[in-house]
Structure 1
Amino acid sequence: MTSTTPRVRTGRITFFVALAVFAQESTWNLYDSQVPPLLREHVSSAALIGALMGMDNLLGIFIQPWMGNRSDGTRTSWGRRIPYLVVGMPVAALLFVLIPHAAVSLPLLIAVMFSYALVANSFKPIAESLLPDYIGPERRSRANAAVKIASSITVIVAALISLFLIDDFPKLSFAIPAVLMLVSVGVLGWRVRDSRSPAYQAALEEDRSEMDAGPRVRMRDVLLDIVRDADRSRLLVILAVFAFGGAWFASRSLVTNYGLETLGLSRGDAGGLTLPSGLAFIAAAYPVALLAERFGRLRMILIGMAVFATAMVLGTLVRTPTGTVVAMCVAAAGAAAFMVNMAVVLWNLAPSARVLGTYTGLYTVGWSAGGFVGPALVGGMVDVTGWPFMLLDVGLVTAVAVLLVARVAVLQRRSPDGHAL
C-alpha cells in the first residue's frame, strides 16, 4: 500500500460512505418524524411515546458495538464491512415498509418497530466505519462533513414526504425511503470492496505480527482499556455523545407532537417543521469541518453546543411556527459542529486500525443510549412542565454535554500531542 493511495481514493470513498449513510438515514428520519403520530393513536403519555421511540436506540446500545467489533475481525475478499451491508439493508427496507400497515394495533406496531430497529442497528456502525478505514486522521473532519451532509439531505426528504404525501398517502409514503435504501445499497455493493482500504491492510499487517492473537480484538479488552485509562478522555467523549445525543433525539422525535400540541399545526405541517433545519445543517457542515481542522475540533464542538442550547431558549421565547423553524435552523447549524467532529475525535483516539469499527460502535452506543434516554427524559419533563417548554427542556440536557466536552478539552491541553484533536 503506497502512501499516496488514501489521497487518490478520498473523494471516491467519501461519496460511497455518504451513499451508505444516506441509505440508512433515509428511513430513520421518516421514522423519527412519523412513527410518533402512529403511536399517539394508541398512547396518550408523552413519556411513553418517547420511551417507545427510544427503543431502537436501546437496541443499538447492545447491537452496534458488537457488530462493529465483529466486522473488525471479519476477513473476506469483499473486506470486513461490505458483506454485512448488502445483507442487512434490504431486510431493513422491507421491515420499514411494513410499519404503517402494522399501526392497526399497538402490539403489532411495536413488534414491527422492534424488528426494523434490530436489523437497522446491526449495520449502522459498519457503514460509518468505512470512512476511517480509508481516510487518515487529518482529513476526517471534512470527509465526515460530506457524510453528514448526505444524512441531512434525508432530513429534507423526510420533511418533504411529511408535507406533501403523508396526509394523503400515509402508507405509500414509507415505501419511498425504503426504495432509496435499496438503490443505494445496490450501488454500494457493486462499487466498493473495502478489502483495499488502508486500515484493512494495516489490520492484516497487525494480524501477521500477532499470529497468536488472531484478527479479532475482544470487545472486553477494548472496554477495559478505555475505562482503565488514567486520561479518561475517551470515556468522557462517549459520555458527551450520550448527553448531546439525548438532546438531539428529543428535539427531533418530539417536535412533531410539539407542533400538534403547542402550535396547533396539522400532522403534515408539524412533520415539516424540520425541513429548513436540514438546509441549515447542510450549509454549516463543511465550514465547521474546515474551522475545526484549523482551530481545533473540541473548540468547535463547544461552540456548536452553545449555539444549539441558545436556539432552544429562542424557540421557547418565540412560540410560533416561524419562531420554531428559526430555532430549529440555528440549532441544526450548532449541532453540525458536534456531529461532524465528535466521531473524528473518538476515531483519532483509537490505538489501532484493528478497532476502528469497535470505536465507531462505541460512538453509536453513546449516541443510541442518548437517543433512548433523551426522548423519554424530555418527555417526562414535558409531562411535568407542559409542551410549551419542551425546547427549553432540551436545552437543559445540552448543558450537561457542554460540561463533559469542556473537561475533555482541559485534559487534551495537558496532553503532549492532544491526539490531533
Structure 2
Amino acid sequence: MRKTWLLGFGFFSISITWSLYNAFVPFFLDPYLKSTALIGFMMTIDNYFALFLQPWIGNLSDKTNTRFGKRMPFMMIGMPIAALFVILIPLHTSLITLVLFMMLMNLAMSVYRSPTVALMPDITPDSQRTRANGIINFMGGFGGILAFGAGSILYKANPAFPFLAAAVITLFSLFILVRFIKEKRDVIVSSPAERQPKIKLKGELDRTTILLLAAIFFWFVSYQGVEALFTLYGKHYLGLSESASSFSLTFFSLFFVLFAIPSGWLGNRYGKRKIIISGVIGLFVVFAAIPLAKTVLLLRILLALGGMCWALININSYPFIVSIGSETSIGTRTGLYYLVSSLAAIASPPLLGLIIDSFGYGSLFIYASSGMLLALLFISLVKHDGKTASASTEQVPANL
C-alpha cells in the first residue's frame, strides 16, 4: 500500500485546492455580483467542466501510450497550469479577469482529475482497491480539513496566501508522483495502446453499470443538496448561529475521514454492494431523524453517524464501478463516475432551493431521505456483489 499513500498526495492537493476555492472565491465574486443565485451558478463551473470534459479525458487516457504511461502525462500538463491560475485568482483586477482565471483553473484541473483517480486502480490489484480508495479519500479528506483550518488563518493575513500555499502543495505533490510512481513499472495491467481494444462509452453501459450509475446519481443528489444548504437550514430552521451551523457540519466531514479506511476494508471483506446498501440505509435513517433532533448535541451525533454511513457508500462506489468493467476501460469508467456525480451536483442545489422556496426548510431532509430511498432501490437491483474472489483469504498488510 506504499504506492497508494504516495498517490494520495494527488488527492491531497486536489482536495486542498477545491476546499480553498469553494470557501474563498465567493468572497471575490461578492463585490461584483449582487445575486446570490448568480454567485452560486458561478461556483458550479467545475461541475460543468466535469460533465463535458472528464468522460472524454478519461476515455482519452485509456488510449494514451507514452514513455511516462497513460495517466501521468495528463498530471504533468494539468497540475502546473492549475497551480499558475490558482495563484492568479486572488490577484484578479476585475470580474472579467476573475472569471477568466476561474475558468482556466477549472479547465486545467479537469485535464488531470480523472487520470489521477484512474491511476489508483491501474497500480492496485482489484482485491485491494476498496482499501486503497479508503486511503486516498482519507488523505483527500485530511486535505479538506487542513484547508479550512490553516486556510482561514492564511486568508486573514492575506487573501492571496492560501491560494499560493495550494499552488505550492500542488507542485510538491506532482514532484512526489513523478519521482516515486513510475507508471510503466507499477501498473498492474499494461498493454500497448495499439493492442488495446477500442473503448466506447456506449459499450460500457450494460444493465449493471446503468443501475449502479443511477444509484450513484441519487445518493449524490441527497448529499449535494444537504452539503449546499445545511448551514442555511441550521440558521433559518433550527435557529443556530452561522458559526454553530457551519461547525456542526464539520462533524459529518470529520467522521467521514475517520471511517474512510475502515470502510474500504469492510467493502473488501464483505463485498462492496452489501456495505454500500448498509451505508444507504444508515444515511436514510440519519436524514429522517435529523428533523427530530431537539438539541445541538443530538444533531451533531447524528451528523457524525451520517459521515460514517457516507464513508461506507462513497469509499466503495468508485471501486465498484471500476470492478464491473475491464481493466482497459478504467479511465472511461472513471469519467462516467464523475459524469453522474457532476450531474447531481449541478441539478440538486437549485432543485432543492426551489422546493425550499415552496415548502420551507423543513423539506430539506425529506428531499434528502427521498434521494437515499431511490438510491437504495437502484443499488438493490444490482446483482453483482462487488466482492473480489480472493478477498476472503487475503491478509491485511501490516503497513496499511
The verdict on how the C-alpha distance between 1:127 and 1:342 changes in structure 2, with shifts beyond 3 A counting, is same
Q: Which of 97, 100, 113 pairs up with 2:87?
A: 97
Match of 2:170 in 1: 181
Output the amino acid matched with 1:56: D
Amino acid at match of 2:286: A
1:36·1:257 contact (CA, 8 Å) conserved in 2?
A: no
> CA offsets per residue over residues 110-144 of structure 1, 9 Å max, x none?
44333222221221110111111111111111111
The CA distance in 2 between the partners of 1:393 and 1:20, in whole Å, is: 34
Q: TM-score, normalised by structure 1?
A: 0.81
Q: Distance in 1 between matches of 2:109 and 2:228?
A: 18
- Is contact 2:44-2:346 (8 Å) kept? yes
Q: Cα distance, 1:32 vs. partner? A: 3.2
Q: Report the CA distance shift for 1:123/1:146 in structure 2 as closer, same or farther (over 3 A).
A: same
Match of 2:208 in 1: 233
Report how far residue 75 of structure 1 moved.
1.4
Work out which of the residue numbers 12, 15, 33 in structure 2 matches 1:25: 15
In structure 2, the CA distance between the partners of 1:245 and 1:178, relative to structure 1 (3 Å rule), is farther
Unaligned runs of 5+ residues in structure 2 are 392-400
Q: Give the Cα–Cα distance (whole angstroms) in 2 for the partners of residues 363 and 289 of structure 1.
A: 18
1:282 to 237, 249, 257: 257
RMSD: 3.0
Quick check: 1:68–1:357 contact (8 Å CA) kept in 2? Answer: yes
In the alignment, which of 384, 388, 392 is matched to residue 412 of structure 1? 384
Which residue does the alignment assign to 2:397? none
Report the Cα offset of residue 247 of structure 1.
2.4
Deviation at 1:54, TM superposition (A): 2.9
Q: Which amino acid aligns with 1:112?
A: F
Match among 117, 125, 139 for residue 128 of structure 1 = 117
1:260 Cα deviation (Å)? 5.6
User: Which of 133, 137, 151 pairs up with 1:148?
Assistant: 137
Q: State the match for 1:344 in structure 2.
A: 319
- Residues 311 and 331, structure 1, Cα contact 8 Å, conserved in 2: yes
- Asked if structure 1 preserves the Cα contact closer than 8 Å seen for 2:127 and 2:388, the reply is no
Give me the whole-angstrom Cα distance separating, in 2, the residues matched to 1:126 and 1:71: 7
In structure 2, distance between residues paired with 1:398 and 1:49: 28
1:69 maps to 59
Within 2, Cα distance between the matches of 1:235 and 1:93?
36
Look up the equivalent residue of 1:289 and give its one-letter code. G
Amino acid at match of 1:366: V
- Contact 1:33 1:256 survives alignment (8 Å): no
SS of the counterpart of 1:76?
coil
Q: Which residue of 1 aligns with 2:45?
A: 55
In the TM superposition, 1:225-264 aligns within 5 A as 225-227=203-205, 229=206, 232-258=207-233, 263=239
Could you list the per-position Cα deviations for residues 12-40 of structure 1 after superposition, in whole angstroms to 9, with x for gaps in the alignment?
Answer: 21012211111111111233344456556
Asked if the contact 1:141–1:344 (Cα under 8 Å) also holds between the matched residues in 2, the reply is: yes
Q: Do 1:292 and 1:300's aligned partners in 2 also have CA atoms closer than 8 Å? A: yes
Q: Which runs of 5+ in 1 are unaligned?
A: 1-10, 208-213
- Aligned 8 A contact 2:218 2:372 in 1: yes
Please state how far the C-alpha of 1:273 moved relative to its aligned partner: 4.3
Give the conservation status (yes or no) of the 8 Å contact 1:97–1:174. yes
Q: Percent identity?
A: 26
1:41-88 deviation line (CA, Å, top 9, x unaligned): 635455x55444333112212211111111111212211111211221
Taking the aligned partners of 2:210 and 2:350, their CA distance within structure 1 comes to: 23
Determine helix, strand or coil for the equivalent of 1:358: helix
Distance 2:292 2:85 in 1: 40
Q: Residue 184 of structure 2 aligns with which residue?
A: 195
Q: Does 1:113 align with 2:105?
A: no
**Residues of 1 paired with 2:298 and 2:90: CA distance?**
31
Q: Distance in 1 between matches of 2:117 and 2:153?
A: 31
2-structure distance, mates of 1:377, 1:38: 25
SS across alignment from 1:412: coil
Bigger drift between 89-98 and 63-72 goes to: 89-98
Deviation at 1:192, TM superposition (A): 1.7
